[in-house]
Amino acid sequence: MCLSTVYRNTLTPEAVVMKNVMTIESKDGVIILTDLMERQVAIEGTLEKANLVDGYVVIKETKTA
């Protein structure tokens, strides 16, 4: 089973959005993460990097002003 930890903007411990992510969907500029317990988090942004061997994903959050 390949589960990943998702980070916001940078690969640092304080940037962790969700652990044990099993699915990632992209819809209209929103990334939807679902973990093993079926909890969901939505982030406005784009996929910056996914390393499934090391089990991490970085999402670049969209800046709104």
Domain boundaries, the chain: 4-61
**Global model pTM greater than 0.75:** yes
Residue 13's CB is within 10 A of a number of other CB atoms, namely 7
Average pLDDT estimate for 38-55: 96
Compute the distance between CA of residue 3 and CA of residue 56 in angstroms, rounded to an integer: 8
In three-state secondary structure terms, 14 is helix
Q: What is the pLDDT of residue 1?
A: 67
Of 63 and 43, which is predicted with more confidence?
43
Q: What is the pLDDT of residue 63?
A: 73
In three-state secondary structure terms, 30 is strand
Q: What is the pLDDT of residue 64?
A: 60
